[in-house]
Amino acid sequence: MVDAARSNRMPATHPLLQAGDRAPENTVATSIDGLDRFRARLESKADQTAAASTTTSELGKAVARAVDSLVSLQREDGHWVFELEADATMPASFILLQHYLGTIDTDLQRRLATYLRETQGADGGWPLFHGGELNLSASVIAYFALKAAGDQADTPHMERARAAILARGGARRASVFVRITLALFGEVPWRAVPVMPVEIMLLPRWFPFHLNKISYWSRVFLVPVLVLMALRPRARNPRGITVRELFVEPPESVRDWITPPTASPMSRVFTILDGLIRKIEPFFPAKRRRRAIEKAVRFVTERLNGEDGLGAIFPPMANTVMMFDCLGYAPDHPDYANALGATRKLLTGNGDRLYCQPCLSPVWDTTLACHALMEVDDERLEPSIRRALDWVAGKQVLDVVGDWAAARPALRPGGWAFQYENPHYPDLDDSAAAGLALDRFDAERYRHALDRAAEWIVGMQSRNGGWAAFDADNTHYLFNSIPFADHGALLDPPTADVTARCLGFLAQLGYGQDHHAVVAALAFLRREQEDDGSWFGRWGTNYIYGTWSVLAAFNAIGIDPGAPEVRRAVEWLLARQHSDGGWGERAETYWPEVPHGKAPYSAPSQTAWALLGLMAAGEAENPAVHRGIAYLIAGQDQNGKWDEPWYTAVGFPRVFYLRYHGYAAFFPLWALARFRAVSTGNSRRILFGL
């Protein structure tokens, strides 16, 4: 392994330093001297005694167990892929897709229904994440799917679900996406859905609204839906399932289906505009509508992506299948068959329990697994890491010019997608993380890949200095006011976590603080720091994730650990450590009124992020770090794994959450191995961008 830090490391034989207590919840050190006094108060005798029992031997055994567990899960061709779990919406939608098409695999349906019953909450509904409260939209879809699967409305679990849904206003209050499904099944009139004419496909780039001005995930979801909304097909629904009992009032009698998604004046304006377009849409020329549908179909087929599907995410795949079906494609048509096959590729489970994943995450999983294993610094792992990174290098998108080029037409491709294949939609987060791993392991071996990645990443920087996930300058915030955007995630603006990843990559490649991209990124990150010292985590939950990401980048680019922005972040992390030594953050922290970085539990992956962030800020000797390490060691089972039922990632804040089953496999290992390295080496500084 080509490792710049190896010559500076000593064998892991030194015992861990004694640990102290955590920072009290409401204590903030206001200066470096104050922080020293603050630390001194933490060193209680009880904690010192407890920490003394944690030896380097125990740390080494924990690392070894975690390594064995992780390596055992590597695929033959070198990659890793873990389950990626969302909420009940995905398996429920899979069941309803079968009923829409009229082709029902009863065994699949039975197993998917088992998952839905098992994930029903104590309140009768279905949450967006483990331990969460009922979400109305997820509950409506789950109830509908279970009824379609044969569950009778008078069974206790269905009665509880129905009562919970009705108590919250009924299916009328469900999201736009759920109402589209209900309209396809004839459960609500099409006026329950905000108007989005398929003629959108024909709008010129200069028009205020254009597909290229919304996020990739919105784009691939919307295009096949535009065809469905134009043609208004009816689900075959061979069993004639209806959910009229979920409505407080008959859907036909509702007159105010379309309401402003926000309280802004523009939301009210767009709601009025929705009504006007609805009145004139029947008079749109038929020839122009046919042209728009043809263009939508071309958009989809050009990005069909083989067995990986449109956008490589389930909702657009399902919409594509329904679009081909309503256009009269035969099930054995190659495009139809590929689209349907892509949905089945997302099914996972065992025995009687099955669920549908929102997408697959092999590039992300493999890259992060490699980072964790490289941190172990064991030559015996080099063959596994090399196979993995050769696989990653082979997934780089070098020839396909994706949708991102609408904003950056002169830029050559050079990024990585999240999934097995998704060449039109590489993302900056995966690209930076992959580049960091390739460079750390063997920069010369992967020189061409690194050069192209750096070129693409620098070119994708937004004008405000930050990086978004998939596009540049995707900041048309006005669009969040249109009625169709009730999920609040129509856009892909730059965020602190992705910006930090890109900055860390450039820093590791040798870009200095005087480079224009670095100057702009640092200014963006300093502007984005929250008043409490943390940073928002767009793709990981939440402020713990964002703060770790930025502290890692600041360290890589050479920001002094004593800088005010770093000290504030350190103090914030210290103040949120739990009494068991861990950290945790609820998915509810994406709501504005919920305190940042809080949870009634500790989670292994979130603890690892906090520890990695503190170590990046020069806090490896802080007693809080030692206590966090002890928490991870104590929480590991004999098979080298950590139990983590919590959803520690997010697709769309407040709407769609994710549980990466791999996070508990590689992040705790990463933190333990890094702690061992910095505790026993000649330098406490982390030499890598992540």
Given this model, what pLDDT does residue 2 score? Answer: 42
Start-to-end Cα distance in the chain: 17
Same domain as 391, residue 304: no
Last residue of some domain: 335, 356, 377?
356
Same domain as 536, residue 387: yes
Whether 10 has a pLDDT exceeding 90, the answer reads no
Nearest-angstrom CA–CA distance, 486 and 482 = 8
For residue 189, tell me if it sits in a domain.
yes
Contacts of residue 585, defined as CB under 8 A and 6 or more positions apart, other chains included, come to 541, 542, 543, 544, 545, 576, 596, 597, 598, 599, 603, 606, 648
Structure tokens at 228: 């469905």
Neighbours of 502 (CB within 10 A): 29
3-state secondary structure of 451: helix
**Measuring CA to CA, which residue among 538, 467, 537, 492 is closest to residue 218?**
492
- Residues pairing with 416 in the sheet: 427
Same domain as 377, residue 238: no
Q: Which CATH number covers residue 104?
A: 1.50.10.20
Given this model, what pLDDT does residue 685 score? Answer: 87
Answer whether 453's CB lies under 8 Å from 431's CB: yes
Whether 316 has a pLDDT exceeding 70, the answer reads yes
Burial class (CB in 10 A: 0-12, 13-18, 19+), 404: buried
Given this model, what pLDDT does residue 23 score? Answer: 33
Same domain as 172, residue 34: no
- Residues pairing with 660 in the sheet: 84
Nearest-angstrom CA–CA distance, 101 and 189 = 20
Given this model, what pLDDT does residue 543 score? Answer: 98
Handedness of CA 333, 336, 338, 340 (dihedral sign): negative
Answer whether 525's CB lies under 8 Å from 500's CB: yes
**Mean per-residue pLDDT, 1-22:** 32
Same domain as 213, residue 312: yes
Same domain as 338, residue 425: no
Answer whether 420's CB lies under 8 Å from 438's CB: no
Catalytic position from the list 429, 439, 492, 497: 429
Nearest-angstrom CA–CA distance, 177 and 485 = 10
Q: Taking each helix axis from N to C terminus, what angle separates 89-101 and 314-326, rounded to the nearest 10 degrees? A: 10
What is the model's pTM?
Answer: 0.91
**Measuring CA to CA, which residue among 96, 77, 79 is closest to residue 88?**
96
**What is the tens place of the pLDDT at every residue in 378-436?**
999 999 999 999 999 999 999 999 999 999 999 999 999 999 999 999 999 999 999 99
Q: Which amino acid is residue 606, in one-letter code?
A: Q
Given this model, what pLDDT does residue 37 score? Answer: 40
Answer whether 363's CB lies under 8 Å from 392's CB: yes
Last residue of some domain: 356, 374, 399?
356
For residue 13, tell me if it sits in a domain.
yes
> How far is the CA of 511 from the CAs of 465, 558, 684, in angstroms?
15, 11, 22
Same domain as 147, residue 62: no
Nearest-angstrom CA–CA distance, 556 and 563 = 14
For residue 568, tell me if it sits in a domain.
yes
Same domain as 330, residue 183: yes
Given this model, what pLDDT does residue 261 score? Answer: 86
Nearest-angstrom CA–CA distance, 345 and 471 = 27
- The count of structural domains within the chain is 2
For residue 219, tell me if it sits in a domain.
yes
Among residues of the chain, what percentage have pLDDT more than 70?
Answer: 92
Same domain as 118, residue 66: no
Whether 39 has a pLDDT exceeding 70, the answer reads no
Whether 349 has a pLDDT exceeding 90, the answer reads yes
Nearest-angstrom CA–CA distance, 119 and 130 = 8
For residue 143, tell me if it sits in a domain.
yes
Assign 326 a pLDDT band (cuts: 50, 70, 90). very high
3-state secondary structure of 86: coil
For residue 689, tell me if it sits in a domain.
no
Same domain as 139, residue 216: yes
Nearest-angstrom CA–CA distance, 543 and 546 = 5
Q: Which amino acid is residue 526, in one-letter code?
A: R
**Mean per-residue pLDDT, 591-611:** 96
Given this model, what pLDDT does residue 1 score? Answer: 52
**Mean per-residue pLDDT, 567-572:** 98
**What is the tens place of the pLDDT at every residue in 85-98?**
999 999 999 999 99
**What is the tens place of the pLDDT at every residue in 231-275?**
999 999 999 999 999 999 999 999 999 998 888 899 999 999 999
Report long-range pairs for 2-6 (Cβ below 8 Å, ≥24 apart): 2/440, 2/441, 2/442, 2/443, 2/444, 2/445, 3/374, 3/377, 3/440, 3/441, 4/440, 4/687, 5/377, 5/677, 5/681, 5/687, 5/688, 6/377
**Mean per-residue pLDDT, 56-69:** 95
Structure tokens at 469: 């996930």
**What is the tens place of the pLDDT at every residue in 642-654?**
999 999 999 999 9
Same domain as 402, residue 333: no
Whether 322 has a pLDDT exceeding 60, the answer reads yes
Handedness of CA 580, 530, 501, 552 (dihedral sign): negative
For residue 273, tell me if it sits in a domain.
yes
Domain that holds residue 131: 87-242+262-356
Given this model, what pLDDT does residue 192 score? Answer: 97
Answer whether 108's CB lies under 8 Å from 357's CB: no
Same domain as 592, residue 522: yes
For residue 687, tell me if it sits in a domain.
no
Answer whether 18's CB lies under 8 Å from 566's CB: no
Answer whether 154's CB lies under 8 Å from 163's CB: no
Our answer to whether residue 429 is catalytic in this structure is: yes
Whether 470 has a pLDDT exceeding 80, the answer reads yes
Given this model, what pLDDT does residue 600 score? Answer: 96
**What is the tens place of the pLDDT at every residue in 65-115?**
999 999 999 999 999 999 999 999 999 999 999 999 999 999 999 999 999
